[in-house]
Copies of this chain bind each other. A is one copy, B any other.
Amino acid sequence: MEKAKVVIVGGGFGGIEAARGLAGSYVDVTVLDRTNYFLFQPLLYQVATAALAPSDIVYPIRAMLRRQKNATVFLSEVTDVNVAEKVVIDSDGKRYPYEFLVLACGGRHSYFGNDALEEFAPGLKSIPDALEIRRRFLTAFEEAEKTDDEAERAAWMTFVIVGGGPTGCELAGVLPEIAKRALRPDFRRIDTQNTRVILVENSPRPLNAFPDELAECAVRDLERLGVEFRFELKASVIDAEGVTLSSGERIEAKTVIWAAGNQAAPLGAALGVPRDRAGRIPVEPDLSVPGFPEIFVIGDMAAAGWGEGKLVPGVAQGAMQGGVHVARMIRRRLSEEPGEPFVYKDLGNLAVLGRGHAVADVGGKTFTGLFAWLFWLFIHVLKLVGFRNRAIVLVQWAYNYLTFQRGVRLITGRKKEGG
């Protein structure tokens, strides 16, 4: 019997787990990704704020699957799926036939149809995104140091974050620390203590996925760092000079970061099945696509049911558990066993709010402050060590993280035209 071909599109948390779950199986696994690296996305906001370097949070996909002999990795941007011929097609026109297909391409930030906002308020989903935000963040202080105009200086030193989810709150937690502590001794003409960070959130509180008491605690922790909040307000206008809120308030700010919405990767459209408003594919209980039992969708691309009307959240755990599940489904299918519904195990929510502070909601228990932060550090460092596979990397990473490693503060890339 010939080996079944399994094609996995996307080498993130979901795709890697799916590939690993097929180690030792009588299949040919092909992993396709448009980048050559796995990205430890939960720490991306630290690259955006010059606290970590890109190389601290990525790892080559090939190296992760190096020992898995039935897995082949290609750098390839998949642009189409032909479900009739069972083949995926990449941007070079190269075709990869499959018996089983796993779509795990993740998502992008969403401007709810108003993509022109990206120029003024970049989002944070990839390494290039993070480097662009880092460039704007560091350049803002350079421009503030240069100008002689007080109003312009204040606008350079004002940062608006749109969206109070975990990404928005984590950015709001680390920005003031880097600005007010790490950067302060480097400047002559400005006092970085005057940096303003303003978080705009549509709903009455941040961290909607967390219990009320943790959201309150997060607000206290961030206010202690000087973060200002604008709740129950939208950013009606965003331009190169600032933000106008739905209340009419105008905030002069040269740097705006978008952390307000997500949408699934566009490849899902190629399947020709219904998608929800966020572009996600509502999947069967076993994570397969309705009408296509050989195609599975996991992670941010899937709308997978969980309990009463809830959806599996778009976090690393959801994608990883989905990857493990579909690998088992494929193995069972090959041995002609019946499928099983995916059961999501909620491991809780965690958000870090500056160094030494975090909020955690784990197994129905809530934790705050230093204990929650140490818990966060422990979990993330465990994961990083797991994927990097060397204890010394932990020392290096912890050192970079705790000392505000200065080499990270390089401004790369160029200002876009009109940007």
Contacts and interface: CB of A to CB of B under 8 A. Distances in A.
Given A74-B145, A186-B60, A396-B399, A409 B138 contact: no
Interface stretch (A50-58, A290-298, A306-314): A50-58
Identify the interface centre among A35, A36, A128, A187: most chain B CB within 10 Å of its CB.
Answer: A36
A388 B407 contact: yes
A59 interface: yes
A187 B406 contact: no
Interface string A58-78: 111011001001001111100
A31 to B, nearest CB: 11
Copies of the protein in its oligomer: 2
A366 interface: no
A138 B94 contact: no
A335 interface: no
Contact of A409 (B37, B189, B408): B37
A66 to B, nearest CB: 5
A1 interface: no
B410 A37 contact: yes
Contact of A35 (B75, B188, B411): B411
Interface in A170-200: 185-189
A139 interface: yes
A411 B36 contact: yes
A410 B66 contact: no
B407 A75 contact: no
Contact of A411 (B37, B143, B411): B37
A110 interface: no
A380 interface: no
Interface residues on A, range: 35 or more
A49 to B, nearest CB: 14
A37 B76 CA distance: 34
A58 B146 contact: no
Given A53-B53, A185-B66, A186-B66, A410 B60 contact: yes
A358 B265 CA distance: 49
A76 B146 contact: yes
Identify the interface centre among A58, A127, A412: most chain B CB within 10 Å of its CB.
Answer: A412
A138 B36 contact: yes
Nearest to A57: B407
Nearest to A188: B72
Interface string A324-339: 0000000000000000
Contacts of A143: 75
Contacts of A390: 403
A392 interface: yes
6 contacts: A37-B411, A54-B410, A72-B188, A73-B145, A75-B411, A131-B412
Query: Which A-B residue pairs are the 7 nearest by beta carbons?
Result: A62-B186, A75-B142, A55-B407, A53-B55, A37-B410, A36-B411, A72-B188
